[in-house]
Structure 1
């Protein structure tokens, strides 16, 4: 994923998460769904068909995980797929903190990433540059292609929107993810990519023929154990490509 805003343990609700996945439109992807036909009926997630992993998912027993890449002008691909990090946590039973601590020594085997893993009781974050593991404190947070809570303009705007719409409808929350405005050059981070690319990537919702926002997602874990997941998909230039919704109760 490329942009997340989430409320963790706010107002007696374990998690409310909004996120956009930006990717090349030609990259083969399977929409979110339960992985019954892949031998994992407890897993709800999309799938990157090129590398086999995922970027955001939740299980029937309440484990969830998501990942963002770290942007750098020096594009270095790891020998392993970052999407496997999300998948391995979701399909396992290791506690979130222990899972990330075990990854610290291997972080350099992957391209730069942020990884969030948790359940209804705890949430942990790993930033691969420095291999720093930390518990996420209750409150509102944002995560894009830098460290947790880095004040990039689109991240701050999404956090503010979430703060003002915590009790809004799913429709209103998802609308926050479709902000396509680009920000002035003086507000942009310097991540080492060309300025023209930095401008394009400054939007929360990226429009383009070859590259852009391909999915907007909402994940909600309630204190009652109810889980809600929504995925809205998009094709080139932001054309709608479908929407699916799921709701289930945590078991086990």
Structure 2
């Protein structure tokens, strides 16, 4: 599971600004955000399946995804994290790449995928759920959007809470510089759980309650599960790009920021 809130083409300084929490088992081998071997892709890396949940490129492309909460999954399904890398390595537009996935959507467990090209100001949401229906492709319009573990902008309690808090912060900062490190601390570390009556009733009530906060932390028979990294990715109109990450290294929280410039902007 993961949750993200992002600002798209609706701020005078930031064409794109994203906050994202990655939820995963703490013992799953993972590399923190860094430049991949090719030197063109910046993101974290799942060392089990080889993909990623969020990454960007020197050419101004961005992709990130969340899993769809569902009761039954396919153990033999393809890795969803590969989709992010496939888009960043391709020469396709967001829409063309999304259309490429139409025929293979049933090979993956439930996903929400956002693919964007900053240079062409194009962003698309792709999902292979509801199950049994064709892959959905939706252009993302300028504004504030939240992606949790249902479709884009679904009114889940944690998504609505994050969107409200995000809007309040933006109002406070106005049209100037946004201190994303401060926003991550204020918004993405929120442990408040939802009211049980507002849970989606897809899995067990106890599990859904544990997942209902923005920052997740729960002990399971397979080990601790929850938020193991929080990221803020910002792109300014000048092309100045900043990737800030707070992440778990063993039992220690660390943070770092990587900066580069998108020449095309």
- Residue-by-residue CA offset, 1:198-225 (whole Å, 9 max, x unaligned): 1000011012341010100001111111
Provide the rounded CA distance (Å) in 2 between the counterparts of 1:234 and 1:187: 30
> How many angstroms apart in 2 are the aligned matches of 1:155 and 1:184?
13
Tell me if structure 1 keeps the 8 A contact 2:113–2:126. Answer: yes
- Describe the superposition over 1:162-187 as per-residue Cα deviations: whole angstroms up to 9, x where unpaired: 11112341232102000011111012
CA shift for structure 1 position 91: 1.5
Unaligned runs of 5+ in 2: none
Indicate which of 212, 227, 234 corresponds to 1:213.
Answer: 227
* CA RMSD after TM alignment: 1.5
Whether the aligned pair in 2 keeps the contact of 1:66 and 1:116 (CA below 8 Å) is yes
Aligned with residue 158 of structure 2, among 145, 148, 154: 154
Q: Which consecutive unaligned segments of at least 5 residues does structure 1 have?
A: none
1:3-152 → structure 2 map (5 Å cutoff): 3-12=3-12, 13-35=14-36, 38=37, 40-120=38-118, 121-129=121-129, 130=133, 131-152=135-156
Write out the 4+ residue segments of structure 1 that deviate beyond 2 Å after TM superposition: 75-79
Q: Residues of 2 paired with 1:163 and 1:42: CA distance?
A: 32
Residue of structure 1 equivalent to 2:194: 183
Shift of the 104–78 alpha-carbon distance from structure 1 to 2, 3 Å rule, reads farther
Counterpart CA distance in 1 for 2:169 and 2:76 is 38
1:241 deviation in Å? 2.3
- Give the distance between the partners of 1:14 and 1:240, measured in 2 at CA: 33
TM-score of the superposed pair, with normalisation by structure 2: 0.89
> Shift of the alpha carbon at 1:235?
6.1
Kept after mapping to 2: 8 A contact 1:165/1:172: no
Whole-Å separation in 1 of the counterparts to 2:149 and 2:76: 16
1:18 and 1:217 in contact (8 A); partners too = yes
| TM-fit CA distance, 1:26 | 1.1
Instruction: Give the secondary-structure state (helix, strand or coil) at the position aligned to 1:108.
Output: helix
| Count of residue correspondences | 246
Report the alpha carbon displacement of residue 240 of structure 1 after superposing the two structures with TM: 4.2
Alpha-carbon shift at residue 78 of structure 1 (Å): 5.0
Tell me the secondary structure at the aligned position of residue 217 of structure 2. coil
Residue 248 of structure 1: CA displacement? 1.2
Give secondary structure in 2 for the equivalent of 1:186.
helix
